[in-house]
Amino acid sequence: MFERPRSGERAVLVQLDLDQGMLADRIEELRLLVGSAGASVEAVVTGRRSRPDPALFAGRGKVDEIAMTLKAHEGDLVVFNHALSPGQQRNLERELQCRVIDRTALILDIFAQRARSHEGKLQVELAQLDHLSTRLVRGWAHLERQKGGIGLRGPGEKQLETDRRLLGARVKALKTRLAKIEKQRRVQRRGRDRREVLTVSLVGYTNAGKSTLFNALTKAGSYAADQLFATLDTTSRRLYVGPVGTVVLSDTVGFIRDLPHALVAAFHATLEETANADLLLHVVDSASEEREAQIDAVNEVLREIGAGDVPQIMVYNKIDLSGAPAAANRDECGTISGVFLSATSGEGLSLLRDALAETAQRVCVRNEVPDATV
Residues 97 and 126 in one domain: no
DSSP conformation letters of 27-70: HHHHHHHHHHHT-EEEEEEEEE-SS-BTTTBS-HHHHHHHHHHH
Last residue of a domain, one of 101, 132, 163: 101
The reply to whether 19 sits in an annotated binding site is no
The reply to whether 59 sits in an annotated binding site is no
Residues 246 and 320 in one domain: yes
Q: How do the pLDDT tens digits run along the chain, 374 residues long?
A: 454 444 578 999 999 998 877 788 889 989 989 998 889 999 999 999 999 999 999 999 999 999 999 999 999 999 999 999 999 999 999 999 999 999 988 988 888 887 777 877 888 888 888 887 777 654 444 444 444 444 444 444 566 677 777 788 888 888 888 888 778 777 766 665 555 678 899 999 988 999 899 999 998 776 666 666 666 667 889 999 878 788 999 888 788 887 777 677 766 666 777 888 899 999 999 999 889 989 998 999 899 888 899 999 999 999 999 999 999 999 888 888 999 999 999 999 999 999 999 988 876 655 554 444 43
The reply to whether 288 sits in an annotated binding site is no
Residues 208 and 274 in one domain: yes
8-state DSSP, 81: S
The reply to whether 133 sits in an annotated binding site is no
Q: Is residue 22 part of a domain?
A: yes
The reply to whether 254 sits in an annotated binding site is yes
Residues 92 and 203 in one domain: no
Interatomic CA distance for residues 260 and 127, integer angstroms: 9
Judge if pTM exceeds 0.85: no
Q: How many CA within 13 A on the CB side of residue 208?
A: 33
- Pair 30, 79: CB distance under 8 Å: yes
Instruction: List the domain range (segments joined by +) for residue 19.
Output: 10-101
Q: Is residue 187 part of a domain?
A: no
The reply to whether 141 sits in an annotated binding site is no
The reply to whether 234 sits in an annotated binding site is no
Interatomic CA distance for residues 270 and 143, integer angstroms: 40
Q: Is residue 288 part of a domain?
A: yes
The reply to whether 318 sits in an annotated binding site is yes
Report how far Cα 49 is from the mean position of its chain's Cα atoms: 27
Interatomic CA distance for residues 267 and 233, integer angstroms: 10
The reply to whether 342 sits in an annotated binding site is yes
The reply to whether 357 sits in an annotated binding site is no
The reply to whether 223 sits in an annotated binding site is no
Q: How many domains does the chain have?
A: 3
CATH number, residue 212? 3.40.50.300
The reply to whether 367 sits in an annotated binding site is no
The reply to whether 91 sits in an annotated binding site is no
DSSP conformation letters of 213-237: HHHHHH-------SSTT---S-EEE
The reply to whether 207 sits in an annotated binding site is yes
